[in-house]
Amino acid sequence: MALLLGDTVPNFTQASTDGDLDLYDFLGDGWGILFSHPADYTPVCTTELGAVAGLKEQFEKRNTKVVGLSVDELSSHAGWVKDIEETQNVKLNFPILADTDQKVANLYSMIQTEDNKMTVRSVFIIDPAKKLRLTLTYPASTGRNFAEILRVLDSLQLTDGYKVATPANWRDGDDVIVLPTVSNEDADALFPKGYEAVKPYLRVTPQPNK
């Protein structure tokens, strides 16, 4: 059965380019992103892994660790990492799981056709309580937009701390929406910067942690 948002994600131990990795231990009390790749030495994946390596400081700022996955072997990963570093001008700074027995791929429903051992391009955002907060699945032909993944992380972390939601195309620093469950009286106390009632159900306020 596929994981649903809010489910506790299954733990696992699997070989990786940084040694055996226990997911819960690796993430500790922080956030995590697990993302899968169809296979080693695929061109789109090479650019994706390079992009993630280049975002190391951005993920650290958000207390987030990233883990890649491919069903190929560690020996294959080792050669692929060299190619990634050479072509993308980065140093790989996160582990890639060698999910040769497809244990993790099956736990997280990353293989979606019976006749295909390759994993789809899936993304899982996991919060400090090990709850699944986002899933995204891309076709093999389309590289992921990691700026969007960072945007979602910002939204999740903000809305966990305040009674707000983020509107369409929101970016960190933009105005946010007061939750409909918050009364006007409570909103007056919770949002000292004030809010604009565009409609009774649509109240806009400056981002409270800025």
Candidate list 45, 97, 123, 149, residue with the active-site label: 45
11 a catalytic residue = no
Strands across the sheet containing 176-178: 164-165, 176-178, 202-205, 196-199
Give the residue from 58, 74, 64 showing the smallest Cα distance to 20. Answer: 74
CA–CA separation, 44 and 42 (whole Å): 6
DSSP 131: B
Three-state secondary structure along 150-179? HHHHHHHHHHHHCCEECCCCCCCCCCEEEC
| DSSP helix, strand, coil percent of the chain (3-state; round to 5) | 30, 25, 45
- Catalytic amino acids? 45
